[in-house]
Amino acid sequence: ATSANPVDVLIVGGGIGGLSAAFALAREGLRVRVLEQAPEFGEVGAGLQIAPNCTRILHDYGLLEEAKSLGVLPKSMVMRDAVDGSELTRLDLVDLERAYGFPYMVIHRSDLHHIFLHACRRVGVDLVTDARVSGYENTASGARVLLADGRADEAGIVIAADGLHSVARRLLVEDEPVNSSYVAYRAAVPIEQVGRDVDLSEVSVHVGPRCHFVHYGLRGGEMLNQVAVFESPKALAGEEDWGTPDELDVAFAATCPEVRAGIPLMWRDRWWRMFDRAPIMTWVEGNIALLGDAAHPPLQYMAQGAIMAIEDGWVLAKHVAARRAEDGAIDWQGALAAYEAVRPEHCRRVLTTARAWGELWHLDGVARLQRNTLLRARDTYDYSFTEWIYGPTALTPEEEPPMFSPIPLDSVDVSDLIGRAEV
């Protein structure tokens, strides 16, 4: 075994999903162990946008104030056209906080990861590194994981939060990550290195043909976070080595000066090829359940990937707490069934909407102009696009709000839809 102490729950993967679920379950009094393959717990990357459906959960966990002290609360989110720089639509994030009761926050990924890591330590989660899980099996009394180095461990329940390339997912479905041919470059740089005037009260998104560019402040405005995403011609041509830095400059060459000024700051030694997977509606196999990207890796256009992972753990822990007898025994099958009744459908909606948003953002030609007309017509204070996401996380299917999308989600041909909209 990885450790002598028996636990109630084993969690595989110590990313934001695994750690937040570990904390959620441990604060309900469960004994939890996290098995992480890396030699240390940590997050690579830059900023994360955390919408009210997640700050609400951070508040419930007693972690919101700490997160706010490390993050930034921007005043608005503005979408602009990447070619001509003109404004298309905006969210007033001060009003949004009033409407939903919780703020829209941006935070460094490693800061949020640390908050959960320290919270796990405080509630006694057993945190194990250098533990790569290579196999899973259900047993009579729970589930067992097999480690690549020959060790094994077991518990009443195993939660697999092992990310996009999840090993556990193979228990449920034989699928592969879906290549979008888009790649993300990131940068988080000290503000004094930015060399241009940036309004740090904004989350800014420039959408353009086959590319988009996001920037916002981090760490109380000491840093600027940038994300530059584009479609790789080499990927489309079927080349193995795609998304490389030589493609970055070409992809943004025709964008407005504001966007072009940001490109030289992008990190060029690391990039993130963007894959998602088709939604699946079964996440539980006996005493083994999927959580986070393992269950629902999205394209990141809704900025809900880490949030969905955090919501998963919150929902699961609520159902566990509701099914705990006085002697401490938990109806795990009931809790997992309640989790599976609500989360896959919500995440299916986000995954499909994220793909459709990607189509909309990256339009070219006449379709781009039609999109711009559609977005400009949106009232700043009309929250129907986001109502089904930013409201309280549903615990049951009945609580899940009706979905609203300005674009037809079954169709990949968004231009066709916009053509039909009366714009």
Q: Which residues bind ligand FAD (CB under 6 A)?
A: 12-18, 35-38, 48-49, 131-133, 161-164, 167, 184, 227, 272, 292-293, 300, 303-307, 309
Written as six digits, the tokens of 23 are: 């904390």
Rounded Cα distance between 259 and 264, Å, is 10
What would you measure as the largest C-alpha separation in the chain, in angstroms?
66
Under DSSP, is residue 212 helix (H, G, I), strand (E, B) or coil?
A: strand
Active site annotation includes 390: no
- Given the residues 61, 104, 136, 216, the one annotated as active site: 216
Q: How far is the CB of 271 from ligand FAD (least distance, A)?
A: 9
Which among 364, 319, 315 is positioned nearest to 209, based on CA atoms?
364
Q: Is the dihedral of CA 66, 316, 350, 398 positive or negative?
A: negative
- Contact predicate 105/71, CB 8 Å: yes
Which of 18, 209 has the CB closer to ligand FAD?
A: 18
Q: Where are the beta strands (DSSP E) in 247-320?
A: 272-276, 284-285, 288-290
Which of 293, 400 has the CB closer to ligand FAD?
A: 293
Which of 32, 330 has the CB closer to ligand FAD?
A: 32
Q: How far is the CB of 105 from ligand FAD (least distance, A)?
A: 10
Q: How far is the CB of 149 from ligand FAD (least distance, A)?
A: 11
Which of 37, 405 has the CB closer to ligand FAD?
A: 37
Which of 17, 209 has the CB closer to ligand FAD?
A: 17
Under DSSP, is residue 324 helix (H, G, I), strand (E, B) or coil?
A: strand
DSSP string, 229-262: EEE-HHHHTT-SS-S-HHHHHHHTTTS-HHHHHH
- Contact predicate 414/356, CB 8 Å: yes
**Which residues are known to be catalytic?**
216
